[in-house]
A and B are shown apart, each in its own frame.
Chain A
Amino acid sequence: CRASSDGKPEKFQPPPKPVIIDKQKQRAERRFLSPEFIPPRGRTDPLKYYMERKDMIQRRKVFNIPEFYVGHVLAVTTADPYANNKSNRFVGICIQRGGKGLGATFVLRNVIEGQGVEICYELYSPRIQAIEVLKLEKRLDDNLMYLRDALPEYSTFDMNMKPVPHLDDEEVRVNKLQVRMKPKPWSKRWERPKYNIKGIKFELPESKMKEAQKWSQPWLEFDMLREYDTSKIEEQIWKELNEELKK
């Protein structure tokens, strides 16, 4: 019993209420629309994309395709008639996501027993039985094809890797890793500004870097017709997706 300053027993002060941060609202702010939903610029009938979207949503209701970006480490199990358990598991880093609509693909790369292996999977193929994201990590570029010319240590991932824990409502962190390359010649001239790669640590002499800048096209960023503003289309597709998936 606390002895008060004026001798009377003090009024009971309840302990402070715990503050509950409503994570639901914060999670709703983070929206990710998979890039294969956004239709490309062109003269095709939007009906084609609408029909493809319906099929994609149908597939997503049955099978969960997680949110992933280029640079994530994924494990994919596909159905294989010639394998032991009729299924085949492959772990790799996603180096590119291509295609729109039902033909959307992603390429996983890994180095197995010294041999680099890249497998291109179709997201909506019925042969895929499970996709798990093992490591959530965005990289500085959208296209990690330069890993082919990088030292093999950057592409090796253990086949029995344990999934790295990641909280659902945090932002996906960007790994600002600068990759070291094998000596030239490379499959593509990655130092040229056309590829706009930020994730390589170029150890080339200054003269080579200056020579590569000769191929830069500074007028391209001012060419207004090349811009494709997808914000309205994305809003529409996001609403459509959410409505369909709630059913």
Chain B
Amino acid sequence: MRLSVAAAISHGRVYRKLGFGPRSRLDLLRNLVTALVRHERIETLWARADEMRDYAERLIDYAKRGDTDERAMRMANFWLTEKDLIHKLFKVLAPRYQPHPGSYTRMLQIPNRDRLDRAKMAVIELKGNPLPPLIRPRRDSEKTLLNQLLKGYREDLQRAAAT
């Protein structure tokens, strides 16, 4: 039985192998997309989050077309297993991202999972969500050299403006 060589070499293949089979892969990603639309921030394996990110962004692009569009509705119906989220997608998420041209999600890596497998985890969230922010930007302290010099320069300018 001659197995094709093309099946063994994976040059240029873009889709990861998740689950058991292409149907299972899409079902997995579908569940993740539904969870993302419901909770707006989820934490999963990094590979799954990476695959899911593209699908979520394309789903939002479809939703931007409006809910009168037949294709957009069929896509949303397939991708969101919980049907109340279709309403949320078209009425809440689509207007929220209308001014933005792309990249509606943010993905950050997390420390490895606590179980025996120590898997690489990631948190993926929709931008503009009502939850507290993931990264708190820390400003440098007042005592650093650069900040002290800048403070001195600002004070000099103020003194020159006052006189």
A223-234 interface bits toward B, Cβ cutoff 8 Å, 1 = contact, 0 = none: 111000000000
Mostly, the B contact residues are: helix
Which bracket fits the contact residues of B?
10 to 19
Which residues of B in the span 42-59 have a Cβ within 8 Å of any Cβ on A? 54-55, 58-59
Is B12 within 8 A of A42, CB to CB?
yes
Tell me if A85 is interfacial: C-beta within 8 Å of chain B: no
Is A225 within 8 A of B58, CB to CB?
yes
Q: A42-B12, A43-B12 are in contact. Are A224 and B75 (CB under 8 A)?
A: yes
A-side contacts of B78, CB under 8 Å: 219, 222
Report the bound CA distance from A225 to B26 in whole Å.
11
Tell me if B138 is interfacial: C-beta within 8 Å of chain A: no
| CB-based A-B contact count at 8 angstroms | 25
Report the bound CA distance from A179 to B59 in whole Å.
40
Q: A217-B22, A219-B22, A219-B26 are in contact. Are A225 and B15 (CB under 8 A)?
A: yes
Is A223 within 8 A of B26, CB to CB?
yes
State how many angstroms separate the Cβ of B144 from the closest Cβ of chain A. Answer: 44
A-side contacts of B23, CB under 8 Å: 217, 219
B-side contacts of A219, CB under 8 Å: 22-23, 26, 78
Is B55 within 8 A of A224, CB to CB?
yes
For A, the interface residue count at a CB cutoff of 8 angstroms equals: 8
Is A222 within 8 A of B58, CB to CB?
no
A-side contacts of B74, CB under 8 Å: 222
Report the bound CA distance from A91 to B96 in whole Å.
59
Report the bound CA distance from A222 to B62 in whole Å.
12
Tell me if B79 is interfacial: C-beta within 8 Å of chain A: yes
A-side contacts of B14, CB under 8 Å: 225
Cβ-neighbour of B79 out of A42, A217, A222, A225 (below 8 A):
A222
Cβ contacts A to B, 18 pairs, < 8 Å: A43-B12, A217-B22, A217-B23, A219-B22, A219-B23, A219-B26, A222-B26, A222-B74, A222-B75, A224-B54, A224-B58, A224-B59, A224-B62, A224-B75, A225-B14, A225-B15, A225-B54, A225-B58
Residues of A within 8 A of B (CB): 42-43, 217, 219, 222-225
